[in-house]
A and B are shown apart, each in its own frame.
Chain A
Amino acid sequence: MARIDLVDLAHSYGGGTYALKPMTMTWRQGGAYALLGPSGCGKTTLLNIISGIVTPSQGKVLFDGNDITHASTRERNIAQVFQFPVIYDTMTVGENLAFPLKNRGLPRDKIAARVGEIAKLLDLTPYLDRKAVRLSADAKQKISLGRGLVRPDVAAVLFDEPLTVIDPHLKWELRSKLKALHQALDLTMIYVTHDQTEALTFADTVVVMHDGAVVQSGTPEDLFARPAHTFVGYFIGSPGMNIVPAGVKGREAVVSGHVIGLNRSYDNLPAGGKIEIGVRPEFVHVADPAPGLLSAQIERIDDLGRVRFARVRIGDVKFAATVPNGVAVPEKTVGLVFDPAHIHVYSDSLLVEGRA
């Protein structure tokens, strides 16, 4: 259990380009965090700095106030689950789980008790005497996880895209198991992924990274409802937020010559900045064309079973909108209904607060 502080942390692999731009943040004890971002955004580098595999070129890492920036991985007492299951081939499941405790010299009965506890938590009890190599990928990942949890004083558990090799049906089980574990054990857990569903379902706090920098950090609701950066709006949500250039004045936004009403007033937008509005497809509905509504051309309808999305065009701007249940989609042209409460204004990709 540890509180993790990053102080002015940055990392460059040499050559002047930063893989990780300078950042300062605190990860509270017992929190479930997700590091979310596309490939190359720096999330794996950050995870490796926290676990000790990489030493940062500048800045400090503190565990409960102690500077462990240059400490080895072993000294940090963390657990890490990798993208592919890492198990010891020659050992049984039980021996795999017992390994870290054996290395510490714990007495045999204590080891057996702890292994039994963790196995029960992970539903591995029936397999304890089987050779670990023979199990399926998701069971092996559980063993990897179990080896980390078996140490009672583990500081944090780090996950590096652990569900990559798992079958989609089993991903659900493992995900909800991880969440349940977090609630039961009160451990600091840091989960790196590029899959927003994984990040949002697992974490209390999601840290979105882009190009080496932390773009926004907050609860899934915050990130969904109030993206602070257009990248967050685009990356989170499936489909992502519609982000279109617009002219914004007062309580109105003009998109491709059409006017959309806003529910806040934007008077002092910086001149010369790139002004865009962002609105999620969930808050744009398709309806029959009508004079008061923005009209758009339908390109295709995506039917996902429980919800339908319409891909439309306003002039040369592409939009995604929801088709409400039971509504028949008009042939070519539709009217778009916007929910003004969920339209955000961005200047140079950053969220602008309007006045009520």
Chain B
Amino acid sequence: MDKTINNKAWFLVLPVFLIVAFSAVLPLMTVVNYSVQDTFGNNHFFWNGVGWFKELLDPSTDLGDRFLNSLGRNLLFSAIILAIEVPLGILVALSMPREGWRVAACLVILALPLLIPWNVVGTIWQIFGRPDIGLLGYTLNKLGFDYNYVSNSFDAWCTIIVMDVWHWTSLVALLCYAGLKSIPDAYYQAAQIDGASRWAVFTAIQLPKMNRVLLIAVLLRFMDSFMIYTEPFVVTGGGPGNSTTFVSIELVKIALGQFDLGKAAALSLVYNLIILIVCWVFYTVMTNADRERPQTTGGA
């Protein structure tokens, strides 16, 4: 629908502009500024051009090595949790009741993990996994597993993956449930009449109709997991060693730990760019999928 021009609306947006300018745009510009400069402290800055960016992408340098390794860890992490959360979320959505009071109960239970502040999630699992006072850690060790997320990097990875699955599968499940509910009953009746097996109903009716919802779920989960910071930081702090050091954690170490503002600024810009590109790819795929559908309107 074409909007007609009404310039007075801009005044309403002005306060928001100003706030965003101060809290986001100016700091962003500062970061860009830092990313092209170098400093030895004492507020002496000198021009470095694209130096930091070149270093970032060069695995032989320390910066590049750390960045590319942490990027690899991020990608591995995102791939694993997507591979677990999406099928699990679909399964949960399929198992949920469709009507009656049980629906409300299930929705509330599913929503609970999503409501918890992220650092609290991290803290819960940090304590939960401790071999001395944590229920999980203690039980696993009692059963004979040598579980210690502080010293063993495999255990650390398992812990943060399980934590993320616990935290976020509900989102995928809720989105898929919404998608499932929108399928008219007639499709299931037709499938019954056609003698379709449960699996055939899933592949021929439910999955195709959940397409768009699944795409959104995958996009959201990829973005969030790629940007993850709080939860793993609280649980493992990036350790043991740097086995769970993701890009965000690396970034904070460089910026606030080493106070290497130039390197950190460049890293954060590249990080931002990667996420933007991924979003753009998803968006294009989604809108292309929309255009493929035949147009149907109620009278044109």
Residues in A lying within 8 Å of B, measured CB to CB: 51, 53, 72-74, 78-80, 82-84, 86, 88-91, 99-100, 103-104, 133-134, 136-137, 144, 147-148
Would you call B200 and A78 a contact (CB within 8 A)? no
Would you call A148 and B193 a contact (CB within 8 A)? yes
- In the complex, the chain A residue whose C-beta lies closest to that of B207 is A90
Would you call B208 and A80 a contact (CB within 8 A)? no
Distance in Å: Cβ of B48 to nearest Cβ of chain A = 53
Would you call B204 and A74 a contact (CB within 8 A)? no
Q: CA–CA, A136 to B186, complex, Å?
A: 19
Would you call A134 and B186 a contact (CB within 8 A)? no
Would you call B293 and A133 a contact (CB within 8 A)? yes
Q: Which residues of B have CB within 8 Å of A136?
A: 294
Q: Which residues of B have CB within 8 Å of A82?
A: 186, 189-190
CB of B209 within 8 Å of the partner chain: yes
Task: Known contacts A91-B204, A133-B293; decide if A103 and B195 are in contact (CB<8 Å).
Answer: yes
Would you call A79 and B197 a contact (CB within 8 A)? no
Would you call A103 and B190 a contact (CB within 8 A)? no
Would you call A73 and B186 a contact (CB within 8 A)? no
Task: Known contacts A88-B204, A89-B208, A134-B294; decide if A103 and B193 are in contact (CB<8 Å).
Answer: no
Q: CA–CA, A99 to B293, complex, Å?
A: 22
8 Å CB contact of B190 from A72, A80, A90, A137: A80
CB of B194 within 8 Å of the partner chain: yes
A74-B193, A103-B200, A137-B296 known; 16 new pairs, CB 8 Å cut-off, are A72-B192, A79-B193, A80-B189, A82-B186, A82-B190, A83-B186, A86-B186, A88-B208, A89-B209, A90-B204, A99-B200, A99-B204, A100-B194, A103-B194, A136-B294, A144-B190
CB of B196 within 8 Å of the partner chain: yes
Q: CA–CA, A114 to B186, complex, Å?
A: 25
CB of B92 within 8 Å of the partner chain: no
Distance in Å: Cβ of B223 to nearest Cβ of chain A = 27
Q: CA–CA, A90 to B201, complex, Å?
A: 12
User: Looking at chain B's contact residues, is the secondary structure mostly helix, strand, loop, or mixed?
Assistant: helix
Q: CA–CA, A168 to B195, complex, Å?
A: 33
Task: Known contacts A84-B186, A88-B205, A90-B208; decide if A99 and B194 are in contact (CB<8 Å).
Answer: yes
- In the complex, the chain A residue whose C-beta lies closest to that of B294 is A134
Q: CA–CA, A326 to B293, complex, Å?
A: 52
Distance in Å: Cβ of A329 to nearest Cβ of chain B = 35
Q: CA–CA, A212 to B282, complex, Å?
A: 52
Q: Interface size class for chain B?
A: 20 to 34
Would you call B193 and A80 a contact (CB within 8 A)? yes
Q: CA–CA, A51 to B188, complex, Å?
A: 13
Q: CA–CA, A82 to B193, complex, Å?
A: 12
Distance in Å: Cβ of B214 to nearest Cβ of chain A = 14
8 A Cβ contacts from B257-300 to A: 293-294, 296
18 sample A-B contacts, Cβ–Cβ < 8 Å, listed by A number: A51-B189, A74-B192, A74-B193, A78-B193, A80-B189, A82-B189, A84-B184, A89-B209, A90-B204, A90-B208, A99-B196, A100-B194, A103-B194, A103-B195, A103-B196, A133-B293, A136-B294, A137-B296
CB of B187 within 8 Å of the partner chain: yes
Q: CA–CA, A137 to B295, complex, Å?
A: 11
Would you call B189 and A73 a contact (CB within 8 A)? yes
Q: CA–CA, A91 to B207, complex, Å?
A: 13
Would you call B193 and A133 a contact (CB within 8 A)? no
Would you call B197 and A103 a contact (CB within 8 A)? yes
7 A-B pairs closest in CB distance = A103-B195, A100-B194, A86-B190, A82-B186, A89-B208, A88-B204, A73-B192
Would you call A53 and B189 a contact (CB within 8 A)? yes
- In the complex, the chain A residue whose C-beta lies closest to that of B185 is A53
Q: CA–CA, A72 to B195, complex, Å?
A: 11
Q: Which residues of B have CB within 8 Å of A103?
A: 194-197, 200
Q: CA–CA, A16 to B261, complex, Å?
A: 77
Q: Which residues of B have CB within 8 Å of A51?
A: 189, 193
Q: Which residues of A have CB within 8 Å of B189?
A: 51, 53, 73, 80, 82
Q: CA–CA, A82 to B187, complex, Å?
A: 9
Distance in Å: Cβ of B195 to nearest Cβ of chain A = 4
Q: Which residues of A have CB within 8 Å of B204?
A: 88, 90-91, 99
Distance in Å: Cβ of B17 to nearest Cβ of chain A = 44
- In the complex, the chain A residue whose C-beta lies closest to that of B208 is A89
Distance in Å: Cβ of B61 to nearest Cβ of chain A = 49
- In the complex, the chain A residue whose C-beta lies closest to that of B189 is A53
Distance in Å: Cβ of A152 to nearest Cβ of chain B = 14
